[in-house]
Structure 1
Amino acid sequence: MTTPNRTFCAHTLATLRPLSLACGFVLALAGCTTTSPFIIDNKSYHSQGQEQRIKFIVLHYTVGNNERSLKQLTEGNVSVHYLIMDHQDDKIYQLVDDDKRAWHAGKGAFANRTMLNDTSIGIEIVNPGIKPEYRQVLRQTDAEYYAYEHYMDFEEVQIEKVAYLVDKLAKQYDIDPTHIIGHSDMAPSRKIDPGAKFPWEKLHKEYGIGAWYDEFDKSYIMNSGEYETASIQDIKQLFRDYGYDINDTDEWDKSSRNVIYAFQLHFRPQQPTGNMDSETYAILRALNAKYVDRD
């Protein structure tokens, strides 16, 4: 069956005069597309089998100044949804729409999910990362990991912007507190950002953002002697329960210690050693008690 719209188009094209062919042809084509014979109904029915695409917020530092960071994130193969510069202004720059995939996370995993570019919003914060005088310290010494004092501070206005933005996004997309993570949390053998100077504890206690442990639980677990009887496999399972991707070897090899270091950057930033100890264990157990065991 020919629709009235198509009949009109055919008649119009057939009766065009040669002198006005070019103009008439354009008008006729325009007439062909002004009306659709079908309607997309997105209100009558909805599938139960669906979920929110955005499940994580991943925070980074740029390892560069404003100009270099902006150039890299807009002209190169790396991209991010939001960029927070160190200017003393009120600007937060959105470089990629929330519903689009940005190339910020790379290879890694968290909470049993890989390909986090597909399920996350990335936020880059302009910060050089490691202080210039310490950038060769790992090569020049026997140290394996950067210490707290090796990292650069963030500007206070940047943290205020992060707090505003993450709070807004977490509420908008109903993101679990444990899914607000650093790049190092999901890629501990590749990345160390946003580093030891990023104030996770402050964001949680002052703005209600992200996850943090209860001090009472941590102290109780430290005093219980539980760490002394926990096996390596028991501890690694606790890391997995919280979300970290860690291997199942019976030793604290370099890959496993990278996970410990990433965890400490997030939850014990003033002493990020990469070594397992009773305090790190107590913090891990306290976090699981608060956020995982509740389920």
Structure 2
Amino acid sequence: MKQLLVPALLALLAGCATTPPTPLAPTGPKIDTTYTAKGQSSRARFLVLHYTVSDNPSSIKILTEQQVSAHYLVTNGPQPVIYRLVDENRAAYHAGVSSWKNYTQLNSSSIGIEIVNPGWTSTPEGGRLFYPFPQEQMDVLLPLLKDIVQRHGIAPENVLGHSDIAPLRKQDPGPLFPWQRLAQEGLVLWPDANRVANVRPIFEATLPDLFWFQRKLATHGFAIQQTGMLDQQTRTVLSAFQMKYRPSDFAGNPDAETAALLEVLTTPANAPLPVVPTPVTTAPVPPLPPATPPVPVVPETAPAPAAPLPVPTPVPPAPMPAPVAVPTPATPPVPAPAVVPATPAAVNTP
């Protein structure tokens, strides 16, 4: 009897072990995904780049354990690694108080990428020393940017730095970030060098006022107050613009080159730019011929006196004729006046 029970029990246990577990009942309503709407777009309109101002371990710890976060982290080192920390369909807390053009609070409409970089250190003279981005890091970052931009349809003018969307608070990714290389890959809006060179002489001749600079910076996308003064906010925003497009000098001064860059970036590519007036050239005036020396006036020789003319002998006047008597005509007799009958007065006709 025991010999029969033992195999049966083993078979029962084996059957229990191989029986698949009962799947859990799906939670929530049943969703049919047969149809897909045509009218839709990605919630991600902007791509924002940052530096971490820390090393790899600290960057990972801060971005995973604290409130601040980003969708991606690109590490530093010989073989950089890309970490996805937040799903692209969710908002990461990387932008903070931010704006660009007509959009504010960009956390909900952007994808944030943190790049491990020390940022900057102060120099003994009171300046700032920024750190470059290694080639290996850029070689990893560029494919990531291209993939995100392609999948979400993000326009080149919306690939930005933290200093673009929050210029009064942030400087990252700094003046040594290779924005121009991104532009060469078609990822970033960049001014045409020939158009800048053509329009720059206008601003070298006459620099616009501060209202002009502030309006152009606002048109480009910055949040800036229109004060007409070179105040701290204007210098800071100018510096943020220059760090990206003219990193050789980002002191925040409104100069002719910055004006030319702003003019080109805020003018559509197919629209005409202000024309440098062509200087009017006039034909050279020929020199006057040398003055002709005056011809000396030679006084004429007085003519010889003429021979005296003969004086005629006066002729005595002829004697007046004697008067002739003229007979006086007889006076005719005056007739007596005739009697004229009275005529009636004239009458006015109507």
* Change in 2 beyond 3 A, CA 1:168/1:74: same
Aligned partners of 2:69 and 2:93 also within 8 Å: yes
Aligned residue in 2 for 1:24: none
Counterpart mapping for 1:101-120 below 5 A: 101-120=91-110
TM-score normalised over the length of structure 2: 0.66
Change (3 A) 1:195 1:291: farther
Does structure 2 conserve the Cα–Cα contact (< 8 Å) formed by 1:163 and 1:209?
no
Structure 1 unmatched ranges of 5 or more: 1-29
Match of 1:40 among 31, 34, 37: 31
Aligned residues: 251
1:85-105 deviation line (CA, Å, top 9, x unaligned)? 112226211111111110101
How far 1:228 sits from its partner (Å)? 2.2
Q: Report if aligned partners of 2:44, 2:110 keep a CA contact under 8 Å in 1.
A: yes
Q: 1:32 to 1:103 in 2, by over 3 A?
A: closer
C-alpha change, 1:292 and 1:104, in structure 2 (3 Å) is farther
The alignment's C-alpha RMSD in Å is: 2.5
Counterpart of 2:229 in 1: which secondary structure? coil
Identity %: 35
Find the aligned partners of 2:267 and 2:194 in 1 and give their Cα distance: 12
Residue pair 2:156, 2:186 contacting (<8 A) in 1 also:
no
Give 4+ residue runs of structure 1 displaced > 6 Å after superposition. Answer: 291-294
* Bigger radius of gyration among the two: 2
Q: Note closer, same or farther for the CA distance 1:34–1:174 as it changes in structure 2 (3 Å cut).
A: closer
Query: In the TM superposition, what whole-angstrom CA distance separates every residue of 1:80-135 from its partner, at most 9, and x where no partner exists?
Result: 0010111222621111111111010111211221111010000011000113x52x
Distance 1:79 1:31, change over 3 A: closer
Match of 2:163 in 1: 184
Give the aligned residue type for 2:140.
K
Quickly say closer, same or farther: Cα 1:259–1:31, change in 2 above 3 A.
Answer: closer
Distance, in Å, in 2 between the alignment partners of 1:221 and 1:44 is 52
Q: Unaligned 5+ residue runs, structure 2?
A: 1-21, 273-350
**Aligned-partner SS, 2:266:** helix
Correspondence list, 1:42-121, <5 A: 42-44=33-35, 46=37, 48=39, 50-89=40-79, 91-121=81-111
Separation of aligned partners in 1, 2:105 and 2:242 = 24
Match of 1:160 in 2: 139
Q: CA deviation at 1:166?
A: 0.8
User: Residue 254 and residue 227 in structure 1: after superposition, are their counterparts in 2 closer, same or farther (change >3 A)?
Assistant: farther
* TM-score (normalizing by structure 1): 0.78
Aligned equivalents of 1:84, 1:31: Cα separation in 2: 39
Of residues 130, 137, 148, the one that matches 1:151 is 130
Q: Tell whether 2:263 aligns with 1:263.
A: no
Structure 2 equivalent of residue 245 of structure 1: 223
CA distance in 1, matches of 2:147, 2:41: 19
Q: Which amino acid aligns with 1:81?
A: H
Q: Which has the higher contact order (CA 8 A, sep 6+)?
A: 1
Change (3 A) 1:85 1:246: same
| C-alpha deviation, 1:183, in angstroms | 0.3
Q: Which of the pair is proportionally richer in helix? A: 1
- Counterpart in the other structure of 1:216: 194
